[in-house]
Amino acid sequence: MNHIRSAQPADVETITRVINAAFQRAESFFIQRDRVDSAAVRRFLESGEFLLREDERGIAGCVYVEKRGERAYAGLLAVEPSRQGSGCGSQLMQAAEDHYRQSGCRHMDLRIVNLRAELPEFYRRRGYVQTGTSPFTAGIETKLPCHFINMTKPLIADDELRNR
Percent of the chain scoring above 90 in pLDDT: 84
In three-state secondary structure terms, 59 is: strand
Higher-pLDDT residue of 41 and 140 is 41
> Which structural domains are found in the chain, ordered by start?
3-162 (3.40.630.30)
Bridge partners (DSSP) listed for residue 62? 52, 78
pLDDT of residue 162: 47
pLDDT digits (tens, 9 = 90+) for 25-63: 999 999 989 999 999 999 999 999 999 999 999 999 999
Amino acid at 38: S
Mean pLDDT of the chain: 93
- pTM confidence score: 0.91
Coil/strand/helix, residue 7: coil
The predicted pLDDT at position 160 comes to 54
Dump pLDDT digits (tens) for 71-102.
999 999 999 999 998 899 999 999 999 999 99
